[in-house]
Amino acid sequence: MRTWEYISKDGRKIFVRPAQRDDATNLHEGFRKVVDEGRWLPTFVANAHVSDWVHWIERTNHNRDILLIAFLGEKYAGHLTLQPEEWNASQHVAKLGIIVVNECRHVGVGRSLMLAAEEFGMEKDYMKIILSTFEDNTIALDLYRNLGYRLVGVRKNHFNMPKGFIDEVLMEKELLEL
C-alpha cells in the first residue's frame, strides 16, 4: 500500500496513506470531534455513521476520490479528501477537504496530508486543487499560502456560524502548468 512518511515539528513520525475499511471508525470519530468544536466546519452535526465512511472508503477503489488518513506515531491524527468537480469540463480539478484533530495540530500533520494529496492527486490526473476555509482560520490560511495556494476570492458573510457570520476564503493551486 502507498504510504508517505514525514517528520513532525517535534520529531515524531507522521504516516499518511489511503484510507482502508478498518479506518472508518477513526475517520468518523475524527470528523465528529472537529464538528463538535463548532469552529472549523460549516456544519453543526456530524450526521454520517461509520457505515457511511466504510461506503466512502470502498468507493475510492472504483472512482477518482482520494481519502487519505494521517497518523502521528500510531495515533489517528486527521484525514483529507480530494473529490473531482461535478462538471465534465472540470474533471481535472479536485475539491479538497481536510481535518486535523485538536491534539495533533501545529506539528505538521496538515502539511503532510496536503503534500501527500498533491502527489497522489497528480497520479489520479488532477491538475488543480481548490479549497475553501473560514476567514478567521489563520493557521490554515498560512499553511495554504506557504504551500503555494493563491487567493481567488472571498464570499462575504457566507456562513452563519454560532460565532456569527464568517467569510469563506477560496483558494487554488495548479499542480501542473497548463
Which grid coordinates belong to 167? 467569510
pLDDT value, residue 178: 62
pLDDT tens-digit profile of 85-130? Answer: 989 999 999 999 999 999 999 999 999 999 999 999 999 999 999 9
Which grid coordinates belong to 2? 502507498
Tell me the C-alpha distance between 19 and 51, whole Å. 14
**DSSP H or E run through 56:** helix 50-59
| Cα-based torsion angle of the residue sequence 154, 159, 161, 163 in order, rounded to the nearest 10 degrees | 30
Tell me the C-alpha distance between 53 and 65, whole Å. 13
Which burial class, exposed, middle or buried, applies to 24 when counting CB atoms under 10 A from its CB (0-12, 13-18, 19+)? buried
pLDDT value, residue 8: 96
pLDDT tens-digit profile of 12-61? Answer: 999 999 999 999 999 999 999 988 887 788 887 778 889 999 999 999 98
pLDDT value, residue 1: 79
The CATH T-level fold of domain 4-131 is Aminopeptidase (3.40.630)
